[in-house]
Chain A
């Protein structure tokens, strides 16, 4: 469009200059000649001339896109049967125009990603939903989606076996000088504080924890109402937790106790068998000596 609009005044100027002058009066001087050659650029000249062509506005103006929005670049990013690897984006959309089918993941903004390495399939599954359309990924290109109902799922391990690293020793609870590395201070009214040993043998929270202590922006600790119903309930809950532990911790403790019992029983059994063996060996020896 731009090229055409720019070309027009040049063209006009060229035509003017080439036109044979019918009455070449003596008054028609060199300046006039130059005036004819002058380029007529932009609306400033039309403003001066007072003429405005409707065609100028109409030409291509409707084709202009609204420049005030950023393009969202939605739509299909992978076609059917195309190879993808886990995490590849298959489709970007607003809402679920397409639904996540076999081996795909629906993102937070409804973007559909591949969950496995394979080939993209666009399909419908009337048994799952009568009018939804799905995007899926299959392991071999010839496979068709949806898979027949009641057939075992097609799965891939997607893992490689490597040598297992034996775990390192647990981090020490005591420092080299024999004092604990951290102290847990349980508080009923406030959060439980964990104090860590510093290089100068003082105990304090980590810097990020100190940052947390300040609380959220615009909130001054201790300035609010001292006891709401909710807060009193919270205090009660924390007291209970300190005494009895949470349900989860209770379950964990029970499990640990159980494990301990099992361990002890196993040790006892091992000891007993060792004892029996020892006795048997002794008996044998005893038998042998008189012989």
Chain B
């Protein structure tokens, strides 16, 4: 413990005894924990217990020290971070934040000895209380509308439904407003500890996604003409991130065919509440067709009936069955023949309420060729919610890959079609052309032969 911390300890202790947090009447909509939970592992330093002996300056190798280094809240050591990531409990927040937590006496928010800060907190808590009261009123109103007889209303059943909808929307809005100014909520969200089953964290995540990532996806949809080519209209509402062999792929990146040989892993984040079923389709939009002198579409992967909710995010396409889904068309590695323009591999995530028959899908799309996203959408009564894409071109590994997977067509190369000039043929003119004949044989040495 540093010198200034030692000096400040008596003040802190008195503060801890003096200030007590305001009792919270209503249930929290966020998972903001009490401060006991928030206090990080190094509690021994801040509590009333006597401080432990300072660690010796030489690096201790005892187990206790190792354990302390393996705290996801405070560690900044590379090996510890790696170990934590492997264990499934990745380090929390930035390294700078972890250092700050480790080096400061970790005082809970309620006890920070700043008057202005505490006054501000009071204002926020008053505001929250106001919102909670409103929530109680709105809930009562919703219940009242639900119980009213539609005959007494002017618009009848439709009016009642509309009113219920509007009241629900207002209630959801209030739930978000109650927690949006909570510093603890903000902190938990930024640390990646937000519980996505709570409306506030979903709201914050949606806002963050819309700030940049969604814009990039929308730009890719437009600039790669996904919208008129594959779907007439599409507004993504779910975040889909793409990973190949554990590495994130920027939307639209040109990928090596050897890397894309294995199915990718998706991170699908939906922002609206409730259970639903997802379908994933990977479509090649640029399969060259020399017979019709045009482009075809091909299905590279199709899975349906994956149960999903906002708390889930990781969806490896190789383990769809384990996630509870049905694979209708297994992964076919993307390939593009030599000389053909780049292939756009579009990954669509659909949402649907009812289960679809995987056998029926197999029958419809098992042949892969001519897969139409629109037809799939109509057949399964689903709506597209998420999108991501990558591109593939011919590279050194493609020929071997096609051989490995028994894909014909590796021996073909595409060349640009040549067009005859529209101008009539003109005889060659000029000095050289004049001296091509036998008459100028004596000049043969000096005359270039024209073809």
Contacts and interface: CB of A to CB of B under 8 A. Distances in A.
Contact of B339 (A149, A159, A255): A159
Interface string A141-158: 000000001111101111
B228 A152 contact: yes
Contacts of A84: 422
Interface in B222-248: 225, 227-230, 232-233, 245, 247
A157 B292 CA distance: 9
B258 A85 contact: no
B289 to A, nearest CB: 7
Interface string B340-374: 10000000000000000000000000000000000
Contacts of B419: 85-86, 117
Interface in A82-128: 83-86, 88, 117
Instruction: State the majority secondary structure of interface residues on A.
Output: loop
A34 to B, nearest CB: 51
Nearest to A155: B295
A262 interface: yes
Contact of A153 (B229, B288, B289, B338): B229
Residue from A155, A165, A255 with most neighbouring chain B CB atoms (10 Å): A155
B232 A151 contact: yes
B232 A153 contact: no
Interface in B30-86: none
Contacts, number: 78
Nearest to A263: B258
B412 interface: yes
A54 interface: no
Given A157-B294, A262-B259, A150 B288 contact: no
A161 B413 contact: yes
B295 A150 contact: no
B119 interface: no
A160 B340 CA distance: 10
B149 interface: no
A262 B416 contact: no
B338 A164 contact: yes
Contacts of B289: 157
B259 A159 contact: no
B117 interface: no
B294 A156 contact: yes
Given A150-B232, A160-B414, A258 B245 contact: yes
A86 B421 CA distance: 10
A259 B232 CA distance: 38
A212 B245 CA distance: 45
A164 B411 contact: yes
A88 B417 contact: no
B232 A161 contact: no
A158 B295 contact: no
A162 B412 contact: yes
A44 interface: no
Interface in A142-193: 149-153, 155-165
A178 to B, nearest CB: 28
B416 A152 contact: no
Residue from A117, A149, A150, A164 with most neighbouring chain B CB atoms (10 Å): A164
A162 B414 CA distance: 6
B417 A159 contact: yes
Contacts of A152: 228-230
B290 interface: yes
Contacts of B249: none
Nearest to B400: A266
A170 to B, nearest CB: 11
B413 A163 contact: yes
B256 interface: yes
Interface string B99-128: 000000000000000000000000000000
B211 interface: no
Residue from B259, B294, B417 with most neighbouring chain A CB atoms (10 Å): B417
Interface in B363-390: none
Nearest to B227: A150
A155 B420 CA distance: 21
Nearest to B232: A150
B415 interface: yes
Contacts of B228: 149-153
B36 to A, nearest CB: 45
B443 to A, nearest CB: 33
Contacts of A161: 290, 412-415
Interface string B385-421: 0000000000001000000000000111111110111
Contacts of A149: 228
Contacts of B397: 259
Contacts of A159: 288, 290, 339-340, 414-417
Nearest to A159: B414
B295 A255 contact: no
Nearest to A156: B293
B233 A150 contact: yes
A117 B227 CA distance: 25
Contact of A158 (B225, B293, B421): B293
Nearest to B231: A150
Nearest to A85: B419
A155 B288 CA distance: 11
Interface in B276-318: 288-290, 293-295
Interface in B196-238: 225, 227-230, 232-233
A126 B229 CA distance: 21
A88 B422 contact: yes
A278 to B, nearest CB: 21
Nearest to B372: A152
A169 to B, nearest CB: 14
Interface in A27-46: none
A259 to B, nearest CB: 6
A17 B295 CA distance: 86
Closest 4 CB pairs of A and B: A164-B413, A85-B419, A150-B232, A159-B414
Interface of A: 83-86, 88, 117, 149-153, 155-165, 255, 258-259, 262
18 contacts: A85-B419, A85-B421, A86-B419, A150-B232, A151-B228, A151-B232, A153-B225, A156-B294, A157-B288, A157-B293, A157-B414, A159-B290, A160-B414, A160-B416, A161-B412, A163-B413, A259-B256, A262-B259
Interface of B: 225, 227-230, 232-233, 245, 247, 256, 258-259, 288-290, 293-295, 338-340, 397, 410-417, 419-422
